[in-house]
Amino acid sequence: MVQRKYITYNQVHKLCQESAQKILNEFKPSLMIAIGGGGYVPARILRSFLKTKDSANIPIQAIGLSLYEKLSTGNSSSSGPEEKAGHTVTRTQWLDFSAVKNSDLVGRNILIVDEVDDTRTTLQYAVQELQKDVEMAAEKMGRKGEETRFFVFVLHNKNKDKKGVLPEDMMREGRYLAAETVGDEWCCYPWEATDIDEHDRLAAEAESKKSASKPNGN
């Protein structure tokens, strides 16, 4: 049976808060692209921490990518929140700048936000496709000389062999940030919970078991 890790809204908030300083100082994004649906809440929380008094809010664009399929056991009473990875990434939504004047990807620092990096397939797809869009747009607008830099932020990175690959220069230059590295367990996020009190209870139970197992109890 897959281990589950229950994450509360408070923990999500604090993971964003802890990562914000590095993102602000080193990544300096001027646009966030949230991968839906798991990237939406972290991106929105992060935006509040990235707001400085001299700057406007960083715009958030959304893309929808789907790789996972609900695990079906044929018995609804025993089915949990876990999903299994499909083989291909499906685009369910892409960028829309139609309502935004003078806005495009070229020459920006762009932060891609998702909740979890599991096999890395989704992130690889997102970065590759966005890079292609940038190259095409730059070509069209005669702005090929401008550097566009992509960064990645996830709440959780699962420590496991990855199927997907991110650009070598992104990893080398530290343009990838995971707020927390976890084992190969299923992360249960609060926005997926149908009973948030039970979700929080399970998260608190796991926390107290963890501190009870530590030698000094904290």
The reply on whether position 40 binds ligand 5GP by CB under 6 A is no
What is the number of other CB atoms lying within 10 angstroms of the CB of residue 74? Answer: 6
User: Which contacts (CB < 8 Å, 24+ apart) does range 14-20 have?
Assistant: 15/42, 15/155, 15/179, 15/180, 16/42, 16/45, 16/46, 16/49, 16/155, 16/179, 17/45, 17/49, 18/179, 19/46, 19/153, 19/177, 19/179, 20/46, 20/49, 20/50
Q: Restricting to residues 144-173, name those near ligand 5GP by CB under 6 A.
A: none
The reply on whether position 191 binds ligand 5GP by CB under 6 A is no
Q: Restricting to residues 3-22, name those near ligand 5GP by CB under 6 A.
A: none
The reply on whether position 68 binds ligand 5GP by CB under 6 A is yes
The reply on whether position 29 binds ligand 5GP by CB under 6 A is no
* Separation of alpha carbons 15 and 10, rounded Å: 9
- CB contact at 8 A, 156 and 182: yes
The reply on whether position 116 binds ligand 5GP by CB under 6 A is yes
Which one of 11, 61, 109, 122 is in contact with ligand 5GP (CB under 6 A)? 122
Which one of 187, 193, 199, 203 is in contact with ligand 5GP (CB under 6 A)? 187
The reply on whether position 117 binds ligand 5GP by CB under 6 A is yes
Minimum distance of ligand 5GP from residue 200's CB (angstroms): 16
Minimum distance of ligand 5GP from residue 2's CB (angstroms): 9
* Separation of alpha carbons 178 and 157, rounded Å: 6
β-strand partners of 84:
69
The reply on whether position 67 binds ligand 5GP by CB under 6 A is yes
Chain positions contacting ligand 5GP, by CB under 6 A: 35, 38, 67-68, 85, 114-122, 186-187, 189, 192
